[in-house]
């Protein structure tokens, strides 16, 4: 398996993207390559770089950003915040969910909504403190901002927003969660780490093959997504009373299987595309 960072640097220059303008620190990616148990197969990249697949890729990416924000929001609502903050979180998400699921609002009405106006605070006697909340609130802000940025790119490219079914990826990972606490939360955090890490790896893989604006945007996402993966992992270890290494590799194996097995669907996190014979 060739996961060397140099290879990605070379690929970027070969793709003819303005290297000086989109330079990024390839060291960001090395822990991600160590964490993931496989690299994205070339067949997926080949499909993803086809211009006719760009609308589905961007629509799915848009919803993935919202889902990333929602998962973090659900986590802190369930485990950590006080009742008033729970309401604040729902109100914060309302315009995004209205847009994504009811087609209410547009790019203009969503502008500037990625900031939360009130303090999000821990509930009394919470087993999970302000640290979990602060990390997740920062992550939510960033994901909602990414959502808006994807929407801006779609708008500039004349790609309409249409709802799209979810891929098998997250659902399949969540099927393996333990159903007793605190292991349920630990498993959810480990899965969060995998989703973030895979997204980061795919952004880096795809960037050289996309047009310059989109390529630059995907590279700009690397830093925050790499941090999100590390935050999830650190929180999982903080909350677990036991060493999480075995659990991490358990989910890593499932994740790699989803990435490396044939998949009829094509999405941001799908497996190896099946070439249909007509
Ligand atoms: Fe994101
Ligand atoms: Fe993220």
- Give the residue among 97, 41, 111, 106 at the shortest CA–CA distance from 266: 41
- Give the residue among 167, 278, 268 at the shortest CA–CA distance from 225: 268
Using CA atoms, how far apart are residues 109 and 121, in angstroms rounded to an integer? 27
Q: Is residue 108 part of a domain?
A: yes
Residue 173 burial (C-beta neighbours within 10 Å; 0-12, 13-18, 19+): buried
Q: Whose atoms come closest to the Cα of 268: which ligand?
A: 1
Using CA atoms, how far apart are residues 165 and 143, in angstroms rounded to an integer? 20
Q: Is residue 2 part of a domain?
A: no
Q: Whose atoms come closest to the Cα of 193: which ligand?
A: 2
Calculate mean pLDDT across residues 134-162.
94
pLDDT at 117: 76
**Ligand 1 centre from 63 Cα, in Å?**
10
Q: Is residue 175 part of a domain?
A: yes
**Ligand 2 centre from 229 Cα, in Å?**
7
Residue 206 burial (C-beta neighbours within 10 Å; 0-12, 13-18, 19+): buried
Domain CATH number, residue 150: 1.20.1260.10
Number of structural domains the chain divides into: 1
Structure tokens at 243: 């060493």
* SS3 state at 41: coil
122: number of Cβ within 10 Å: 20
Q: Is residue 98 part of a domain?
A: yes
Task: Report pTM.
Answer: 0.89
Q: Whose atoms come closest to the Cα of 65: which ligand?
A: 1
**Ligand 1 centre from 197 Cα, in Å?**
11
pLDDT tens digit sequence for 70-108: 999 999 998 899 999 999 999 999 999 999 999 999 999
pLDDT tens digit sequence for 155-201: 999 999 988 999 999 999 999 999 998 899 999 999 999 999 999 99
**Ligand 1 centre from 278 Cα, in Å?**
37
What is the end-to-end Cα distance of the chain in Å, rounded? 33
Place of tokens 């303090």: 119
Q: Is the pLDDT of residue 238 over 50?
A: yes
**Among the ranges given (4-13, 44-53, 123-132, 199-208), the one the predictor scored with the smallest mean pLDDT:** 4-13
pLDDT at 223: 85
Q: Is residue 130 part of a domain?
A: yes
**Ligand 2 centre from 145 Cα, in Å?**
11
Q: Is residue 15 part of a domain?
A: no
Structure tokens at 194: 């995998």
Q: Is residue 13 part of a domain?
A: no
pLDDT band at 127 (very low <50, low <70, confident <90, very high): confident
Q: Whose atoms come closest to the Cα of 148: which ligand?
A: 1
Calculate mean pLDDT across residues 201-209.
94
Q: Is residue 7 part of a domain?
A: no
Domain containing 242 equals 26-273
Contacts 24+ apart (CB under 8 A), 101-105: 101/163, 103/161
**Ligand 2 centre from 231 Cα, in Å?**
10
């Amino acid at each position: 398996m060739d996961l060397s960072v140099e290879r990605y640097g070379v690929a970027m220059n070969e793709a003819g993207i303005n290297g000086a303008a989109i330079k990024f620190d390839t060291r960001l990616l090395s822990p991600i390559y160590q964490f993931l148990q496989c690299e994205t197969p070339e067949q997926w990249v080949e499909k993803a770089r086809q211009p006719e697949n760009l609308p589905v890729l961007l629509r799915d990416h848009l919803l993935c950003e919202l889902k990333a924000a929602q998962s973090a929001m659900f986590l802190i609502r369930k485990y950590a915040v006080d009742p008033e903050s729970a309401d604040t979180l729902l109100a914060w998400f309302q315009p995004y969910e209205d847009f994504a699921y009811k087609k209410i609002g547009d790019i203009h009405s969503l502008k500037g909504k990625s900031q939360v106006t009130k303090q999000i605070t821990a509930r009394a006697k919470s087993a999970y403190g302000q640290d979990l909340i602060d990390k997740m609130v920062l992550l939510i802000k960033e994901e909602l901002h990414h959502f808006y940025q994807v929407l801006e790119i779609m708008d500039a490219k004349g790609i309409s927003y249409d709802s799209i079914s979810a891929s098998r990826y997250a659902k399949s990972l969540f099927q393996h969660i333990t159903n007793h606490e605190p292991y349920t939360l630990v498993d959810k955090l480990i899965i969060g780490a995998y989703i973030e890490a895979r997204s980061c790896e795919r952004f880096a893989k795809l960037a050289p093959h996309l047009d310059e604006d989109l390529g630059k945007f995907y590279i700009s996402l690397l830093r925050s997504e790499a941090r999100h993966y590390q935050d999830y992992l650190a929180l999982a270890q903080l909350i677990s009373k036991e060493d999480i290494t075995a659990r991490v590799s358990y989910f890593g194996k499932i994740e790699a299987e989803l990435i490396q097995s044939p998949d009829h669907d094509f999405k941001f996190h799908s497996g190896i595309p099946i070439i249909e014979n007509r």
